[in-house]
Amino acid sequence: MKNLIGIILLGLIVSSCSLFQKSSMTQDQIDEMVAENEALKTKVTASKDLEDQLALARMQADEAMLKLAACEDASTSKVHIIVGAFKNSSYADEYSAEMKKQGYDGRIIAGPYSFNLVTSSSHESVKSALNALGNIRETVIETAWLYIE
């Protein structure tokens, strides 16, 4: 009798053990978790790309500050307000024509890394360029920026 009670108790303990139970997740839930994992991996990759872009922007800002300091020392530099930068020269030509239609300078100048830069205006001093930049950002394109030759 003791053996029978012991066997019954052992059977109850073993049957309630989580090692012997089936998974409580359905295949749809597993697929959903896999999809969420892939989405998170994509977000991490995008985040790393944004970090790289931020680092590049910081380097460009530092370079611009150095050029600005040099420009203030030498009055021979030209300061341009750039409204577009294109690798493809035909795109630069089209945008330049559009800027000229709107009454802006629309000149194309050679920029760094083989970019064709489209200007809205050019100035002799950084101060006058900064004053004009605010207006260009409000009326033409908010991502306009200064380029110092």
Domain of residue 93 covers 79-149
List, for residues 77-133, the tens digit of each pLDDT value.
Answer: 688 999 999 999 999 999 999 999 999 999 999 998 899 999 999 988 888 888 899
- End-to-end CA gap in the chain: 100
List, for residues 38-52, the tens digit of each pLDDT value.
Answer: 888 888 888 888 888
- 96 assigned to some structural domain: yes
Q: Where are the alpha helices (DSSP H) in 17-123?
A: 27-73, 89-101
Task: Give the number of other CB atoms < 10 A from CB of residue 148.
Answer: 18
- 65 assigned to some structural domain: no
- 147 assigned to some structural domain: yes
- 43 assigned to some structural domain: no
Q: In this structure, are residues 102 and 121 in contact, taking their beta carbons and an 8 Å threshold?
A: no
- 41 assigned to some structural domain: no
Residues 6 or more apart in contact with residue 82 via CB below 8 angstroms: 111, 117, 118, 119, 120, 144, 145, 146, 147
* Predicted pLDDT of residue 1: 62
* Predicted pLDDT of residue 58: 84
- 35 assigned to some structural domain: no
* Predicted pLDDT of residue 126: 83
* Predicted pLDDT of residue 22: 57
- 61 assigned to some structural domain: no
pTM of the model: 0.52
- 91 assigned to some structural domain: yes
Task: Give the number of other CB atoms < 10 A from CB of residue 79.
Answer: 23
- pLDDT tier at 55 (50, 70, 90 boundaries)? confident
Query: Looking at residue 131, which CATH number applies to its domain?
Result: 3.30.70.1070
Total domains in the fold of the chain: 1
